[in-house]
Amino acid sequence: MDLTYTEEEQDFRARLREWLAKVLPELPARPSPDDWPGRRAYDAGWQRRLYEAGYAGLHWPVDAGGRGATPTQHLIFLEETERAGAPYVGANFVGLLHAGPTIAAEGTAQQRARWLPPVLRGDEVWCQGFSEPEAGSDLASLRTRAVRDGDDYVITGSKIWTSHAEVADWCELLVRTDPAAPKHRGISWLAMPMDAPGVTVRPLRTLAGSTEFAEMFLDEVRVPVGNRVGAENDGWRVTMVTLSFERGTAFVGEVVACRRTLGELARTAKGNGRWDDPVLRRRLGRLYGEFGALWRLTQWNVSEAERSAGGVPGIGGSVFKLAYSHARQELYDTAAEVLGAQSLSLAEEWTLDRLSSLSYTIAAGTSQIQRNIVAERILGLPKGR
């Protein structure tokens, strides 16, 4: 097996590095964490730069507006943008990493033409309307109801943990279109405009003080039937496509960031004397090995996804999500050991990252759900009763 980079890939890396070195100093100052309109504008501006330079949608197929890059070029892009400290997708993450790829895989030609170019250009932001107060891990028990009325669905219900709802233009929304059907078979996947009458958004404040989540209330909201992606009542299958992207490839940039953080932790420990603790050194060494293995698994998942029909990641994404969630939590627990009393200060970036890491074993499917998927779909074990 040849693991060396081709001349074309090396040229891609060199051109990307040159472009990043040119444009990053030109970026405006990052807005305050509480300034969501400012953060949206900042993230959209970065996405527009990527689009104009030909780097937007590297992981999307060409017929969806993507660049048709190879899996290796996609990974090189992630490595180089993280190394350079470039902005992440930010408020655009649902559209770029979840909704957009789902529409690319499952939408009609008209739907792809309508929704995908604005996502790639940074013109429109999406949020995710999946979880409900009584439908978290058991997502298929959702109750938000959509009743057909001519060419529209009339939607009533509520959602929670709706990422970036406060600045979103569109919502990938799961609704129950057949309450009499078995719970997994009566669901539909809709694209809902967030400015539709009857949509109310209330921000939720996290442990770290941020408000990137919201609860959303839907009071007889009308959504055109033409906004349904996939067949009516086939939304659970479409949702599995969305979750495959969320678990399989959406976290790849974060693995690169965690590997960089690990190096910074080692340098900080050497500077403040914590490096003299052999237990801490062993822990850092083991984490180095874990994140190295996770990066290899990431490379495999991205390669498999981009070779599959529609570019949909396989169930290996659950293996990655399970391992990554726990490794990330241990990474920032270790950061607290390195920082000592400083780890109690919210002024420390690693403190905020540690608080954020607590959600990773819940978000995008709990670790318990991922273990069930691995047990049943990979190991072939029987379902629990």
| Separation of alpha carbons 97 and 65, rounded Å | 14
| Separation of alpha carbons 99 and 107, rounded Å | 10
Cβ–Cβ under 8 Å, residues 186 and 178: yes
From the candidates 132, 246, 254, 304, give the one annotated as an active-site residue: 246
Encoded tokens for 360: 């990773």
Cβ–Cβ under 8 Å, residues 287 and 334: yes
Encoded tokens for 309: 């029909």
Cβ–Cβ under 8 Å, residues 118 and 283: no
Pick from 313, 282, 311: which is nearest to 297 by CA? 313
Amino acid found at 19 = W
Cβ–Cβ under 8 Å, residues 99 and 126: yes
Sign of the torsion formed by the C-alpha atoms of 164, 166, 169 and 170: positive
Q: To which residue do tokens 């770290």 refer?
A: 208
Active site residue 376: no
Residues noted as catalytic: 246
